Amino acid sequence: MMSVEAVDRLGHIRARMDEDGRVKVSDLAVALEVSEMTIRRDLDTLAEQGLVRRVRGGALALGPQRFAERLRSQARAKEQIAAKLSALVGQSAAVGLDASSTLQRLAASIEGARELTVVTNGLEAFTALRDRPGITVLLTGGQHDERTDSLVGPLATRAAGALALDRLLVSAAGITLAGTTEATLEESEVKQALAAVSREIVVAVDHTKLGRTGPARCLPLDGIALLVTDLDPGDARLSAYREIVEVL
Q: SS in 3 state form for 62-121?
A: CCCCCHHHHHHCCHHHHHHHHHHHHHHHCCCCEEEECCCHHHHHHHHHCCCCCCEEEEEC
pLDDT one-digit tens code per residue, 91-106: 678 999 998 888 888 8
pLDDT at 72 over 60: no
Residues 113, 9, single domain; the answer is no
Residues 58, 74, single domain; the answer is no
Query: Which residues, including other chains, have CB under 8 Å from residue 129's CB and lie 6 or more apart?
Result: 107, 110, 118, 120, 135, 137
Sheet holding 52-55, edge to edge: 22-24, 58-61, 52-55
More confident residue, 49 or 160: 160
More confident residue, 230 or 213: 230
Using an 8 Å Cβ cutoff, are 55 and 61 in contact?
Answer: no
Residues 56, 117, single domain; the answer is no
> For residues 17 and 236, what is the distance between their CA atoms, to the nearest angstrom?
32
Residues 186, 227, single domain; the answer is yes
Number of structural domains, the chain? Answer: 2
Of 27, 47, 62, the residue that ends a domain is 62
> For residues 82 and 107, what is the distance between their CA atoms, to the nearest angstrom?
9
According to DSSP, the residues that pair with 119 across neighbouring strands are: 96, 138
Residues 118, 224, single domain; the answer is yes
pLDDT of residue 50: 64
Residues 29, 111, single domain; the answer is no
More confident residue, 71 or 154: 154
Of 46, 62, 78, the residue that ends a domain is 62
Residues 16, 121, single domain; the answer is no
Q: Which domain holds residue 10?
A: 4-62
Residues 57, 79, single domain; the answer is no
pLDDT of residue 121: 92
pLDDT at 168 over 90: yes
CATH number at residue 178: 3.40.50.1360
Q: How far is CA 39 from CA 13, 49, 248, in A?
A: 9, 15, 40
Q: How many H-runs (helices) and E-runs (strands) does the chain carry? A: 10, 15
Residues 161, 88, single domain; the answer is yes
Percentage of the residues of the chain whose pLDDT score is greater than 90: 45
Residues 111, 206, single domain; the answer is yes
CATH number at residue 48: 1.10.10.10
Predicted model pTM: 0.72
pLDDT of residue 67: 54
Residues 178, 76, single domain; the answer is yes
Residues 99, 116, single domain; the answer is yes
Of 16, 47, 62, the residue that ends a domain is 62
* Average pLDDT of the segment spanning 24-31: 91
> For residues 53 and 141, what is the distance between their CA atoms, to the nearest angstrom?
32
Query: Which residues, including other chains, have CB under 8 Å from residue 210's CB and lie 6 or more apart?
Result: 175, 229, 237, 238, 241
